[in-house]
């Protein structure tokens, strides 16, 4: 049995790999059928993970809204190193309907969060940021075997850098946003081609004009 939870990275972009316009507008890049597929994917995983930037920008619920609804909602995890998730966010306000976890790096607990409603996982590194390896190990210890990582770009890059992404579900819409749009994956700090990771396309599907590509790490 693995010591860490597996991670599926889901990305929804334009053809030129942008997840939002330069002003942050992202609703909606992909079509309704692709979004419905995403909800099904959430239901098939033990947890949904996003970064604090996504929470502050979009105030998401992160629930699996399938038809019919799943018998069990995934755990909703936020990588929130400084515990900035607002108490009035939709995540916190709906904590009674499904487990909410804030993965953080603080040494104290802010007074605005009610510990009766949420779980706090201290998984910080020496830089005061959330450590992806520690988060995956803690998740596995908490009974979370499969994580559905939905962004944003900085968090996705961090998991890729640590070699923790086991599969990518990449939705592409037939639109072009341009270079001033928000990239799907943040900086990886590479200076040589030898540092890049290689991936294998294992499946591709058309979804009413959008495409879904499934990628796995390349193996020799």
Q: Assign domain 6-18+26-146+160-178 to its CATH architecture.
A: 3-Layer(aba) Sandwich (3.40)
Q: How far apart are CA 56 and CA 118, in angstroms?
A: 17
CA 210-214-217 angle, 5° bins: 150
- CA atoms within 13 A of residue 83's CA, in its CB half-sphere: 22
Q: What is the pTM of this model?
A: 0.92
Give strand pairing partners of 13.
172
User: 41 and 200 in contact (C-beta within 8 Å)?
Assistant: no
Which pLDDT tens digits describe the chain residue by residue (220 residues)? 579 999 999 999 999 999 888 887 777 899 999 999 999 999 999 999 999 999 998 899 999 999 898 989 999 999 999 999 998 999 999 998 889 999 999 887 776 776 677 899 999 998 889 999 999 999 999 999 999 999 888 999 999 999 999 999 999 999 999 989 989 998 888 888 888 889 999 999 999 999 999 999 998 7
Q: Structural domain boundaries of the chain?
A: 6-18+26-146+160-178
């Amino acid at each position: 049995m693995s010591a860490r939870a597996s991670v599926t990275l889901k990305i929804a972009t334009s053809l030129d790999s942008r997840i939002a316009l330069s002003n942050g507008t992202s609703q909606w890049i992909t079509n309704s059928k692709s979004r419905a597929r995403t909800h099904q994917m959430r239901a098939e995983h033990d947890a949904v993970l996003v970064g604090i930037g996504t929470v502050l920008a979009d105030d998401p619920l992160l629930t699996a809204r399938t038809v019919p609804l799943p018998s069990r909602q995934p755990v909703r995890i936020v990588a929130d190193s400084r515990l900035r998730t607002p108490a009035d966010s939709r995540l916190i306000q709906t904590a009674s309907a499904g487990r909410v976890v804030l993965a953080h790096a603080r040494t104290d607990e802010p007074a605005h969060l009610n510990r009766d409603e949420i779980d706090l996982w201290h998984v910080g590194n020496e830089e005061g940021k959330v450590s992806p390896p520690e988060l995956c190990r803690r998740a596995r210890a908490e009974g979370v075997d499969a994580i559905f990582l939905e962004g944003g770009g900085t968090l996705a890059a961090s998991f890729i850098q640590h070699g923790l992404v086991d599969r990518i579900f990449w939705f592409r819409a037939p639109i072009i946003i341009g270079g001033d749009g928000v990239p799907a994956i943040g900086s990886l700090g590479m200076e040589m081609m030898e540092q890049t990771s290689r991936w294998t396309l294992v499946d591709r599907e058309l979804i009413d004009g959008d495409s879904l590509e499934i990628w796995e790490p390349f193996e020799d």
